[in-house]
Structure 1
Amino acid sequence: MNLFDVLQVQHHFGNVPVLDNISFQVKVGETFGIIGPNGSGKSTLIRTMSGLLKPNQGEILFYNKAIGSYRKRDLAKLIAVLEQEGIPPLSFSIEEVVAMGRYPWLKPLADLSHLDEQIVEDVLKNLGLWKIKNQAVNALSGGQRQMVSLARAMVQQPKVLILDEPTTFLDIGHQMLVMDHVREWHQSQDITLIMVLHDLNLASQYCGRLLLLDKGYVQSYGKIHDVLKPETISTVYKTEVIMIEHPVQHVPQFLLTSQ
């Protein structure tokens, strides 16, 4: 069953085209990766898929219904977005920021229920944030703030989690921590994951299917081995690469070669 049907979507800012005739599908329950060079339209695409931007042409169906026909509050119950910038260094505590993810489920002016508080507590404990829940977000490292952003998305309990470059600015330890938590949550909650990733090796290890964008066009789309071909990657990214097989997961991995 298709969760998203993206049908001939075009988007431009002024006279500058960003997305050109984009068509693909995302299936219910899968982990779908969007890759491509800087400026290829990845972030614009997921903003249209989440209902934040309206395409200039084409249509995006979500559960066979036009994404633009949903009320924002209803979409917030179904789709959570972890944006590239994460959360700003706010003076609120970790617990307060994470609890904001429950707001789509609350009645106007209502306080958190016991169930809401329990959901927040469970997520904070699962991500190792419970013991520091009272710390101000502006006192945290970039990696910790990214974990708080992930926690806020998780307590939203969406059917779809969209992550825009979730590992940006993170060291390899925090990269694996975030990606492993996301994968565990995907498996335990049976949600659909859509991830924009710069790192092709992470995309290969954590995604089931990929969409490769280049200059606003779909360059390639499908299973990992069909998209991540060395000749395709070299052409799109304009650099020579060496492809090897991951010794454990048996998926493509890329090494750079000097010119």
Structure 2
Amino acid sequence: MLSVNHIFCGYNNQDIIKDISFDVEAGCNLSIIGPNGCGKSTLLKAIAHIIPYRGSIKIGETEISETKRKDLAKNIALMTQINSIHFPYTVYETVSLGRYCHMDGMLPRLSSLDKDIIYDSMEKVGLLSIRNAKINQLSGSQLQRVFLAKIFAQDPKIILLDEPTNHLDLRYQIELLEYIKQWKKKKERAVVTVLHDLNLVQEYADKVILLNNGEKFQYGAIKDILSNKSLEEVYKIDIKKWMTKVMIKWQA
């Protein structure tokens, strides 16, 4: 579904991401991991075509840099960390924004099908009962679900998630990733997620890219990447040993 080949990108004429290549197949949940500052979020921004890149990023046979923004939105949706809310829209109004890439004309109106999709998207994440609430009055976990519902309404083929569980407690971290897991079961869908918590990566990812200093250090099946010495070399700590020690305390 997604093919990334020899990508270079960054800011102020300086490359953060250097010569990275990988493929994402339909049904795959790919996690991008690595220490702070290694380029994880930068890579997602290039895939979403928010920043320019050198190399090739294709959905199917189509280069994203040659795709109109509205058409790209039908294929890729990016959910980033939520830092601030500038407009006090309602939950329904915010989720409705996901449908605009599917609408035509200068003054598009929501069709009955659009409205059905919007309501279905809110129902999937448990928001129907608060659909008329202002989003600036919601908790962090509710707000994350609003923006996830907006992405569901957008109905892309690929969802990009940039640390979606940041600032959420454990229950809501698991809940959000379960929503994504269920969404991905539909044919011809895939997910690319930046995560810091390797326990969540272990539970939800199918494949992993391990970045180090903007370069691809390892790429492959989760059991291969998280079980070898690569993590220790990149993170400068024996993560498996530390996690095992903590788990023993839980079992005591």
* Closer/same/farther in 2, CA of residues 189 and 27 from structure 1, 3 Å limit: closer
The residue type equivalent to 1:209 in the other structure is K
Alignment match, 1:60 = 57
Alignment match, 2:203 = 205
Aligned partner of residue 74 in structure 2, secondary structure: helix
- Alpha-carbon distance, 1:166 to partner: 1.0
Aligned partner of residue 220 in structure 2, secondary structure: strand
Aligned partner of residue 133 in structure 2, secondary structure: coil
Indicate conservation of the 8 Å contact 1:201/1:254, yes or no: no
Counterparts of 1:72-87 in structure 2 under 5 Å? 72-85=69-82
Alignment match, 1:235 = 233
- Alpha-carbon distance, 1:239 to partner: 2.2
Q: Number of residue pairs matched?
A: 246
- Out of 97, 101, 112, the residue aligned to residue 94 of structure 2 is 97
Distance of 1:181 and 1:40 partners within structure 2: 28
- Out of 167, 170, 173, the residue aligned to residue 169 of structure 1 is 167
Q: Which moved more, 1:165-174 or 1:8-17?
A: 8-17
- Alpha-carbon distance, 1:241 to partner: 2.1
The residue type equivalent to 2:17 in the other structure is L
TM-score (norm 2): 0.91
TM-score (norm 1): 0.89
Alignment match, 1:130 = 128
Which one scores higher on RCO, CA 8 angstroms, separation ≥ 6? Answer: 2
Identify unmatched segments of 5+ residues in structure 2.
Answer: 248-252
The residue type equivalent to 2:120 in the other structure is D
Alignment partner of 1:107 is 2:104: yes
Higher share in strand: 1
- Out of 9, 28, 31, the residue aligned to residue 11 of structure 1 is 9
Distance of 2:83 and 2:174 partners within structure 1: 17
Aligned partner of residue 221 in structure 1, secondary structure: strand
Q: Which moved more, 1:102-111 or 1:10-19?
A: 10-19
Deviations 1:159-209 (A, max 9, x none): 111111110100001001101111011114541111111111111111111
Alignment match, 2:116 = 118
Distance of 2:139 and 2:164 partners within structure 1: 15
Alignment match, 2:217 = 219
Q: Percent identity?
A: 34
Distance of 2:96 and 2:244 partners within structure 1: 39
